Structure 1
C-alpha cells in the first residue's frame, strides 16, 4: 500500500481536510473507524493518531490490548473488511519522552462501499466525516461502478508506451530513484498487480496510469482528449453557415494536455485597459479570470467519466461566453445546489496525482474558487448545466469584452473599408451581426439623436459598398431588411 506522504512532514501544521485528520490516541474507536470509512469511500486518507490539541501525546500511553484493537479496526468494525496501513513517525511526546504517532492510511475504493457494524455509511467532505442520507448512499453505490473504471487494467499498454519526460517528472515529484518503475506505479494506483494461475506475479498499467503517463492515451481510451473550438458569434452554426474560426485537438498525458490547453486558451483571450479607481492608473483586465477558466478545465479532466469513451472534453469559445463540456454527470453526492461545498472524486488516483503535479492547488476547493474569481471580476456566477450524460460549465464575459470581440470580428470581416465607415454604419453592421439582419427602424432606434433619413442613407451606402444585401419582396416593401453579405 502507498506510504503516506505525511510521514516526513510536520504533522502539527498540516491542515485537516479531505485526506488528513489528527486524533488523540484515546479517541473513540467507533468514531475512528467511521473516519477511515469516510476516507475509503471518498479519496482515501490518513489519520495521524497520537496528537491532542496540536501537541504530540504519542500512542505509548495505550495498553497493548488497546493498540491491538486499533490494528483490528478494519476487520472488527468495518464491513466489508477494510485494509488499513500503519506507518510510524517517531517523535518526542509532550513529556519530552521518545514516542510514536501512528499514521493509519486507507486507499480510495472503487467497486466497494464501506460501512460500520450499524450499517451506517460515511463519506469525507472537506474536513468533516459526513453520515450519508439514504439518497446519497444510493448515488454513491451507483457511482462506484463508474469510479472502478480508472482502476481497470489495460492489457495492451506497456511501459514503452509511456511519455519519458512525464515519467521523469513523476519520479522526481515523489523522489523515486529505483530501477523497477512498477514499485512506484503500483502503490499510487497507476498499475495493477496480477497473479496468474501458475502463481506468477506481473503488472499492468491501469486506466489512470495510461491517462497520466502514456504518450498516446487515446490509443487505449478513445475520447481521452480536449478539443478547443472558437466560434464567430454567439452560437454554433453548421453546414454552409459553419462559423468555426479555430479548432485544436489536444492529446497526450494529462499534465501536458492541461498545460497546452492553458496556453491555447490564454492566447485566444482578450484584455482591455480599465481605470483602477483605487490607484488612479489604467490596468489590463482579462476577458475572464484565469483562475476560473483553468479550474473549470482542471475539474473537467479530474472528474469526467472516462468510461464515456465516445465523448471528449470540449472548451468552446463564443463572443459572450466560454463553455467547458465534461462527459458524465455530476459524481455521487454532488448536486448543482451543493457543488460549492461538496466534493467527491470520481477518479481519486488521477485527482491525487494532479494535486501533486500542481494543477489542483487546494484539494477539493476548485468550484468555490471559480465563483469567487468571477465575482471579483464583477462577472456573473458560473452556470452548471447538468444532465445524465454530461456537465457543462458556462462562464459569461461582460458587455465591454463582448463589444471588443464583436468589433474585432467585424473589422476582420469588413476589411479596410471598416475604418472609412461612420458611427451609424458601424452600428448598422453591429446590429446585423448580432441579430442576423437589420431594418431601418431598428437602426433609427439604435442611433439616438440621429434622424430616420440618416439611418436610411447609411443602409443604402452599405448596400452600394457590397457590405449589405437588401432583402425585399418589392421596391417599397414595408418588410424589407438588410443582412451582411458573407
Structure 2
C-alpha cells in the first residue's frame, strides 16, 4: 500500500486517519473500538478532515505521547503494532507517518474513563451497559449461563435428570450434592440463600420455559424457496419443541429426519446410489450448535429452523461468539455456554470440541453441495445449509466471445474450477458458483456492460463469504484497497448491494 492509497483510503470499519495533533485520550477511543470489534489500522500524520499529509517527524514529543496510548489510556493494554511509512509531507519535505495495527481482541477493552466503544462503520460508538455485558458474554469474559435465575429454587429442578447425568459422568453422591459441588449449578449467596444458575434450569429444570419462555426450538417448513406472508403464506408445517435442552435436541433432530427426503438413482458401475437432501451428521450438528451456542440472555425470540425446497436455514439468537468468524469457523472453537457444551458432549451430541463445523463442511463437500453460509440480522445469526444436489452432472450455459449461449456438461465437484471465455477474457469460475456468476455475466451482456476479471473475482469471493472485508478482498484479488472500492462502487446497485452497516452487515448479490 502506498502513501497515496492510504491518503485516499475510505475510512470505515477497519481503517481510519488521524491528525498528529489528536489528543491522546481521543486516540484511545478508536483504538479501543477497533480492538473490541474486528481490529484495524490507524494512519497517524494525515488529517482526517483535510487529508493533508502532516507527517510525524517534526512532532517528536506528541508522537511519544501517542505511542503510549495503548498502555496509558486503554484497559487492559492493547498489543498494538507500530510501524512507519516514508512520505513527503504537504510542505515538500521528507517525512513519515505512523501506522498502528490494532488486533481484534478476545477481551473487552475500555478507555481511561472506563467507557467501552465498538467500531461500527467509520464511527466509534459508545456501548450501553446492556451492550457491554453482551460483548463480554460474546468474548467469553463472562458467561450468562452462570447467572442466577431470579425466583428459581431447588424445587424447580428435576432431580431424576440430575441423577441420570451424575451417573453418566461417574459421580456417586446424591443429585443435590452434585449440583452444589459442580459447575456452580447451585450456589449459596451472601444472604445464605441458594441461587440456581441459568445452565442448571436449562439442563435440569422441570419446566425451563417458566423462566425462559422463548428457550425453545421451532421448526417451520415452507413450500417453495421463499418465505411468504399474508394471503400467500406458504407454511406447511410449524412445530415447537420445548423442555430441557437435551429434550429439544433429541425431539428436533428426530422430527427433521421425518422431513428429509432420500433419492435413489443409478450411479457409476450400474449400481444404485441413495442420497439424502441433507447428510445426517449435518442435521444433528447444526441443531446441536443452535441449542448449545445461542445467546440465552436474548429472550425475545426462539431458535428457528426453516426448511425450504432448496435449503435449511438455522436462525439462532446471538452473533458468532468470541473470535469465531465466517472465515475461521472451520478451525476455531469457542463455547458461549461451556457448561451446556460439556453436558451435550457427555450425551455424545457434541463429538469433539472444535471439529463439528469442519466436518459439516466436509460432509457437504463430499455430497457435492456448497458449504453453509452466514449472515447476521440485528442479533440473529442465520446459517444457510444448501440442499444436496440430486445428480452428479448438470447442464450449464457457456457464453462465448459473441455473447451466444452454448450448452455443455460441467462436473459439479466442490471447488473444481472450470474455464470459460467471456467477451475475450479468460475467467476461472468455481463450479458451485457457476450458475450465479453466469447469470450476472448474461445480465452484463444484455445491458451492454462488461464484467472484468477482477470484478468477477470480487463477486466470487463475496458469494463464498458475504462478510468478507475490503482489505481481505484486496489481498485475495491482488489489487489495492482503492481499486477494490472503485470496482465495488461500479457494481453497487447493479450486481451487488451492502445489507446492513459495515459492522455486522454483508454483501448480497443482485441476480
TM-score, length-scaled by structure 2? 0.49
| Correspondence list, 1:322-471, <5 A | 322-400=312-390
Q: Distance in 2 between matches of 1:268 and 1:207?
A: 32
Q: Distance in 2 between matches of 1:300 and 1:243?
A: 24
> Does the alignment pair 1:144 with 2:136?
yes
Residue deviations 1:62-94 (CA, integer Å, cap 9, x gap):
xxxxxxxxxxxxxxxxxxxxxxxxxxxxxxxxx
Q: Distance in 2 between matches of 1:348 and 1:133?
A: 28
Displacement of 1:186: 4.0
In structure 2, the partner of 1:277 is 268
> Does the alignment pair 1:242 with 2:233?
yes
> Does the alignment pair 1:191 with 2:192?
no
Q: Distance in 2 between matches of 1:319 and 1:145?
A: 36
Following TM superposition, the consecutive aligned residue runs of length 4 or more in structure 1 with deviations greater than 4 angstroms are: 118-121, 138-142
In structure 1, the partner of 2:430 is none
> Does the alignment pair 1:176 with 2:166?
no
Cα distance, 1:297–1:397 mapped onto 2, change above 3 Å: same
In structure 1, the partner of 2:62 is none
| Correspondence list, 1:89-168, <5 A | 134-138=103-107, 143-145=135-137, 147-168=142-163
Residue deviations 1:290-311 (CA, integer Å, cap 9, x gap):
1112211111111111111001
* Greater Cα radius of gyration, structure 1 or 2: 1
In structure 2, the partner of 1:258 is 249
> Does the alignment pair 1:268 with 2:259?
yes
Assess if the C-alpha contact under 8 Å between 2:367 and 2:388 holds in 1.
no
Displacement of 1:149: 1.6
Q: Secondary structure of 2:189's match?
A: strand
Displacement of 1:207: 0.5
- Kindly tell me the number of residue pairs found equivalent between the two proteins: 271
Q: Distance in 2 between matches of 1:362 and 1:324?
A: 21
In structure 2, the partner of 1:289 is 279
Q: Distance in 2 between matches of 1:291 and 1:180?
A: 32
Q: Secondary structure of 2:161's match?
A: helix
Cα distance, 1:167–1:287 mapped onto 2, change above 3 Å: same
Assess if the C-alpha contact under 8 Å between 2:368 and 2:389 holds in 1.
no
Q: Distance in 2 between matches of 1:277 and 1:168?
A: 52
Q: Secondary structure of 2:273's match?
A: strand
* Residues 337-346 or 321-330, more deviating: 337-346
1:211 aligns with one of 202, 210, 213: 202
Q: CA RMSD in A?
A: 2.7
Unmatched 5+ stretches in structure 1? 1-113, 122-131, 402-486
Cα distance, 1:320–1:180 mapped onto 2, change above 3 Å: closer
Q: Distance in 1 between matches of 2:109 and 2:390?
A: 44
Displacement of 1:177: 3.1
Displacement of 1:140: 8.3
Displacement of 1:340: 1.1
Displacement of 1:225: 0.5
Unmatched 5+ stretches in structure 2? 1-74, 81-100, 111-131, 392-511
Cα distance, 1:339–1:139 mapped onto 2, change above 3 Å: farther
Q: Secondary structure of 1:291's match?
A: helix
Q: Distance in 1 between matches of 2:385 and 2:375?
A: 11
Q: Distance in 2 between matches of 1:319 and 1:185?
A: 48
Assess if the C-alpha contact under 8 Å between 1:166 and 1:253 holds in 2.
no
Displacement of 1:399: 4.7
